[in-house]
Structure 1
Amino acid sequence: MLESVKIQRRQSEIRQALAGLVGKATPTEDETRSMESLDAEYRTNETRLRASLIAEDTERREAGADLETRAGREWSDLIAGFQMRQVIGALNEGRALEGKTAEVVAELRNAGGYRGIPVPLLALEARAGETVSTGTPDPMQTRPIIDRLFPASVAARMGAQMIAIGSGAVEWPVSTSAVTAGWANGETGNIPDPTAYGTIDKALAPNQTMGVQMRVTRKALLQSGEALEAAIRRDMNGAMGAELDRAIFLGTGADGQPLGVITGAATYGITSTAVDAAASWATYRSAVVRFMARNAASTPADVRALIRPEVWDFMEDQLTATSAPKFEFDRMAEKMGGIAMSSTALAAPTGDPLACTSLLTTSAGGVAPVFVGMWGAVDLIRDPFSDAASGGLRLTALTTVDTTVARGAQLELLTGVQVA
């Protein structure tokens, strides 16, 4: 029992005893002494009670903070012990899941329905210590598994916010009003009339499903062990990351794809500026100035740029004509908050001279320029028929993704950035 509760109970007993003694018109000497001792004890207990409440409040805060973070820590611990090879064994041979893998799958099934075995996205991350020296080998001589090459994700580096959604659609009310301040004209004048505060909802809807198919031979299943698990995880993560980067920026909005930021610039209200000039720091500096002029950014360091590798190659050959020459790309990198290069998220240069597109983003007021919603976990399904004759295993991983732009003023598209 808490000390404060014990003190409060004792205080209640003292009040009851005093009530009986105070009601007597002519108390005896013993009763008078008893009243004095009870009164002194009551005053002492009041001081003790305040001290106990202060101490217990600190303990409650510490315990509350521990409870708030305990669930996240426990889930992270479970994910750290998630084994893809158990999932593959369950799909291929009907083995029972056990340990942390079984707990994670049970939690995900309780949160939503899956046709196959749900796999958390965090489990697809490459983990420390998974580099292996063995792979799908010749039994006489072991060779390493060579992972397929995928570019690193650039969406997060451009400030996109990834949002995990359980079910249903999610909307964000975004301010669209232009509230202005004004001055009273004279001693008895009024300030300007109020400006209506308007918002618009930007929604993420589970309308687009992306899938990855993987084919694993019977020989690989029997020989590889942990090496196969690590390779499948990295391969699936890389394939999904590469396609997400492409869809977030270049998605057509048709044929089951989300509407990408660049493709849907007009729909999202993103300013598109035709540069039609050679790539240089001056080209991007003008766009940064436009961000600052509309209060979307306060310094160049608040702005990120997404460029093609060809732009970097071209700018690295251009020197400024000053007393202290410096390459154009170095000048740009020193001023901006970050530069991401991708051949997946941006279309290849075209035309004569060759020209491409660049995208600039900024986070205004803590609001991300792009929202990417992902529904649930990865649904991993086994196809028992396609490779039945060879004893192989075909896996299909499905995930539902959508993207939207909160405020078009936080992005700007530069077209015609010449690299030749």
Structure 2
Amino acid sequence: MLDSVKIAKRQSEIRQAIAPLAGKTNPTEDEVRQMGDLDREYSTNETRYRAALIAEDTERREAGADLETRSGKEWADLMGRFEVRQIVHALDTGKMLSGQTAEIVTELRNRGSFQGMPVPLAALEQRAGETTSGGITYPGQLYATVARLFPASVAAKMGAATINVDVGDVWIPVTSSSVTAGWAGEADNVPGPVPYTEETRTLKPDHNLGVHMRITRNALKYSGQTLEQSIRSDMLGTIGAELDKAVFLGTGVDGQPLGVITGAADYGITEQAVSAAASWSAFRAAVVAFMTGNAAAAASDVLALIRPEVWSKLDDTLIAGTAVSEWDRLTGNIPAGNIAMSANALAAPAASATTALLTTAAGGIPPITVGIWGAIDVIRDPFSDAQSGGLRLTALTTVDVAVARPAQLRVLTGVQI
């Protein structure tokens, strides 16, 4: 028995012995002396109890460290004490595992995923009279899973705001009336009042994005502790890439939300036909339109989304007689941090021409609003791959896109590269 347990038991006995003595109104000298002895012993045991806990904690840590750093040879020695009959009894009657068998099963469960009771293969391979070569370990090493590549997210960089919705629709009211002002002379009336009106932008939970993952039994066994990180990375990257594409290029049909570029006419977003080579002057015209429409106060307030081919064209075009490129002129007015490049959020060039998008956050209002309903719903399908021992997961999320003020966005078409 552990010392701490023995001391705790003795402390309980002391409390039981001292309780009736403490309740006496006129204790005798022997009883007073007995209470003093018990009190001194109790105080001493408190110190001994704390010391015992510290010593036993150190022993536990050393034992745990010894288990974690156990070499292959020591693991093989431990495997020699594994009892398969305990596994049989546990499956048959639910009897608890004990000894080295319980220790090995616990360590195997920490390393991998098992629906039943894990039995090490080495325990089944042992035969009477066989010996195991000492100091020989399997040379395989487990590294972190190498994740796949996903396009960088640009929706947030373009000023899109994400709101989380519990249930139902979301209405975004936008002022649609204009206030008039005018001067009046003596005894004249000022211009009459204009009724205040609003328009409503609605986010509806009508668009569901699904990510389907099929995890084979081999992946479950090979990946080990890195499997959870790999699944999170894959799921997050896939959802992020598809959301980016839908926010800008969503068709509005087949379950997709209507993207701001594809649905520019429906949202009332101005489409400016450049029909010329990519240059700072083409972007400058759109920036001027923002400034004259009170959507931006300076070029530095504007965010730009372009394809990598546009950057290549701008960087390769030098101003005559100088070493300054069109890209230098663009970043001299629109900071490079305000420019996002993506081959996922913008359609591929057609006939050597592509599209660009400019946005700005006027009055703190985001140019694009993305509504996400609830959390990602991960559903397990335990039946489809039951025969192969695989696992199928489906992640569902409901999303919609809305534009509050079309004046905060501008689509540039026909940007030649």
Q: TM-score, normalised by structure 1?
A: 0.65
Aligned residues: 286
Match of 1:214 in 2: 213
Matched, 1:368 2:349: no
Q: In 1, are the aligned partners of 2:145 and 2:223 still within 8 Å (CA)?
A: no
Matched, 1:200 2:193: no
In the alignment, the residues of structure 1 paired with residue 205 and residue 253 of structure 2 have an alpha-carbon distance, to the nearest angstrom, of 14
Q: Residue type matched to 1:327 in 2?
A: S
Q: Residue type matched to 1:154 in 2?
A: V
Match of 2:323 in 1: 325
Deviation at 1:144, TM superposition (A): 4.1
For residues 20-419 of structure 1, the aligned pairs below 5 Å read 93=115, 140-184=140-184, 186-321=185-320, 325-337=323-335, 338-351=338-351, 354-419=352-417
Q: Runs of 5+ in structure 1 lacking a partner?
A: 1-84, 96-137
Deviation at 1:212, TM superposition (A): 0.5
Percent of aligned pairs with the same residue? 59
Distance change >3 Å, CA 218–CA 139, structure 1 → 2: farther
Q: Runs of 5+ in structure 2 lacking a partner?
A: 1-108, 118-137
Match of 1:119 in 2: none
Deviation at 1:365, TM superposition (A): 0.9
Q: Residue type matched to 1:275 in 2?
A: V
Q: Does the residue aligned with 1:225 lie in a helix, a strand or coil?
A: helix
Deviation at 1:254, TM superposition (A): 0.4
Deviation at 1:141, TM superposition (A): 3.9
Instruction: Give CA-to-partner distance per residue, 1:29-88, whole Å, 9 cap, x none.
Output: xxxxxxxxxxxxxxxxxxxxxxxxxxxxxxxxxxxxxxxxxxxxxxxxxxxxxxxx99x9
Instruction: Give CA-to-partner distance per residue, 1:314-336, whole Å, 9 cap, x none.
Output: 111011236x5311112212212
Q: Residue type matched to 2:260 in 1?
A: V
Deviation at 1:94, TM superposition (A): 10
Instruction: Give CA-to-partner distance per residue, 1:211-269, whole Å, 9 cap, x none.
Output: 10111122322342331111111111110000001101100000010011011100000
Q: Residue type matched to 1:230 in 2?
A: Q
In the alignment, the residues of structure 2 paired with residue 171 and residue 320 of structure 1 have an alpha-carbon distance, to the nearest angstrom, of 48
In the alignment, the residues of structure 2 paired with residue 238 and residue 249 of structure 1 have an alpha-carbon distance, to the nearest angstrom, of 17
In the alignment, the residues of structure 2 paired with residue 156 and residue 334 of structure 1 have an alpha-carbon distance, to the nearest angstrom, of 23
Q: Does the residue aligned with 2:209 lie in a helix, a strand or coil?
A: strand
Q: Residue type matched to 1:282 in 2?
A: S
In the alignment, the residues of structure 2 paired with residue 167 and residue 93 of structure 1 have an alpha-carbon distance, to the nearest angstrom, of 36
In the alignment, the residues of structure 1 paired with residue 234 and residue 153 of structure 2 have an alpha-carbon distance, to the nearest angstrom, of 14
Q: Does the residue aligned with 1:391 lie in a helix, a strand or coil?
A: coil
Q: Residue type matched to 2:388 in 1?
A: S
Q: Does the residue aligned with 2:348 lie in a helix, a strand or coil?
A: coil
Q: In 1, are the aligned partners of 2:220 and 2:227 still within 8 Å (CA)?
A: yes
In the alignment, the residues of structure 2 paired with residue 343 and residue 139 of structure 1 have an alpha-carbon distance, to the nearest angstrom, of 42
Instruction: Give CA-to-partner distance per residue, 1:112-170, whole Å, 9 cap, x none.
Output: xxxxxxxxxxxxxxxxxxxxxxxxxx972434422111011100000001000011000
In the alignment, the residues of structure 2 paired with residue 164 and residue 145 of structure 1 have an alpha-carbon distance, to the nearest angstrom, of 32
Q: Residue type matched to 2:212 in 1?
A: Q
Distance change >3 Å, CA 313–CA 94, structure 1 → 2: farther
Q: Residue type matched to 2:261 in 1?
A: I
Deviation at 1:172, TM superposition (A): 0.7
Q: Residue type matched to 1:391 in 2?
A: G
Deviation at 1:209, TM superposition (A): 0.4
Deviation at 1:189, TM superposition (A): 2.0
In the alignment, the residues of structure 2 paired with residue 344 and residue 378 of structure 1 have an alpha-carbon distance, to the nearest angstrom, of 22
Distance change >3 Å, CA 284–CA 222, structure 1 → 2: same
In the alignment, the residues of structure 1 paired with residue 332 and residue 196 of structure 2 have an alpha-carbon distance, to the nearest angstrom, of 38
In the alignment, the residues of structure 2 paired with residue 236 and residue 180 of structure 1 have an alpha-carbon distance, to the nearest angstrom, of 52
Q: Does the residue aligned with 2:316 lie in a helix, a strand or coil?
A: coil
Q: Does the residue aligned with 1:224 lie in a helix, a strand or coil?
A: helix
Deviation at 1:193, TM superposition (A): 1.1
Deviation at 1:93, TM superposition (A): 4.3
Q: Residue type matched to 2:359 in 1?
A: T
Distance change >3 Å, CA 142–CA 94, structure 1 → 2: closer
Deviation at 1:180, TM superposition (A): 2.4
Q: Residue type matched to 1:370 in 2?
A: I
Deviation at 1:188, TM superposition (A): 2.1
For residues 6-21 of structure 1, the aligned pairs below 5 Å read none
In the alignment, the residues of structure 2 paired with residue 206 and residue 390 of structure 1 have an alpha-carbon distance, to the nearest angstrom, of 36
In the alignment, the residues of structure 2 paired with residue 412 and residue 93 of structure 1 have an alpha-carbon distance, to the nearest angstrom, of 55
Q: Residue type matched to 2:333 in 1?
A: K
